[in-house]
Amino acid sequence: MEKNSSEYQASLDLCQDTGKGVVRVLEIMKRLRDKEHGCPWDLEQDYRSLSSSIIEEAYEVVDAIESNNKSDLKEELGDLLFGIVFLSQLASEDNEFNFYTVVEGVSDKMVRRHPHIFADNKDIKTVEDQIVNWEKMKQLENQGQKQGTKGKMETFKSSKLPALLLGQKWYKTTHMEIDEGKELKDNIIEVKNIMGKLSPATSKASSYINLLLMGEILYTMVKISRCISVDPELALKNAIKARAASSGLS
């Protein structure tokens, strides 16, 4: 597209039009990725290069929430949204999907998973009923999409998710339904047994054994967290903040 063309000018005008909302940000993204006149940095980005920034922006959203800073929250939500817009633009260039189909997909999912709101399902009356129905819907949706065991294993092995979150997802994937009371009792016994095997590292071999044992301990604590409906990431963060506050470092 030539810079002096009416089409190019119309695009720039749209990028400046504060009344256009989502259409404006999508057009800005297109201009940044324009192969002739776009931004060199934006043109170099791909799915992998954007993955770490998406994680960082999500954590910054959480930090703004926890600090109760609404001004920061507004800004960080915008940054996270722009990451979604960016990835959607890459997919659009690959003829895979676009931002509008992303929105359409999640809208359809929310309607489908809330039959008590958008359909006449009177069986769902409580939060607990809704959670059970949500999980059932997820299982039904995934029946035709599930990877084989080997493929699923490879996905988890190569995942870049934070360890606690990855542990939660793996446990939920391999144990869709659990008996919380029994699992809690069994896992408390298990973590005590593993902890009893720890010892000061006196060699590379013993250090490696401790590494394996600590991994098992942390994963078992993730399982315990699910049994008592606690987010282990939030629990650990609260514990650290409490210690920082009591030591005068907050």
Tens digits of per-residue pLDDT, 195-224? 999 999 999 999 999 999 999 999 999 999
Q: What is the CA radius of gyration of the chain?
A: 24
Is the pLDDT at 148 greater than 60, yes or no?
no
pLDDT of residue 151: 58
pLDDT band at 144 (very low <50, low <70, confident <90, very high): low
CB 3 within 8 A of CB 22: no
Alpha helices in the chain (DSSP H): 6-16, 22-32, 40-44, 47-66, 70-93, 99-112, 115-118, 127-142, 149-157, 163-174, 180-195, 204-227, 232-246
Amino acid identity of residue 57, one-letter, is E
CATH superfamily, domain 6-106, is MazG-like (1.10.287.1080)
Average pLDDT of the residues of the chain: 86
Is the pLDDT at 58 greater than 70, yes or no?
yes
Is the pLDDT at 71 greater than 70, yes or no?
yes
Q: Is 86 exposed, middle or buried (0-12, 13-18, 19+ CB in 10 A)?
A: buried
pLDDT in tens, 6-33: 777 677 777 777 777 899 999 999 999 9
Mean pLDDT along residues 67-95: 96
pLDDT in tens, 161-198: 788 988 998 998 888 889 999 999 999 999 999 999 99
Is the pLDDT at 147 greater than 60, yes or no?
no
Rounded Cα gap, residues 178 and 224, in angstroms: 11
Is the pLDDT at 143 greater than 70, yes or no?
no
pLDDT band at 59 (very low <50, low <70, confident <90, very high): confident
Where are the domains positioned within the chain?
6-106, 161-246
Q: How many residues does the chain have?
A: 250
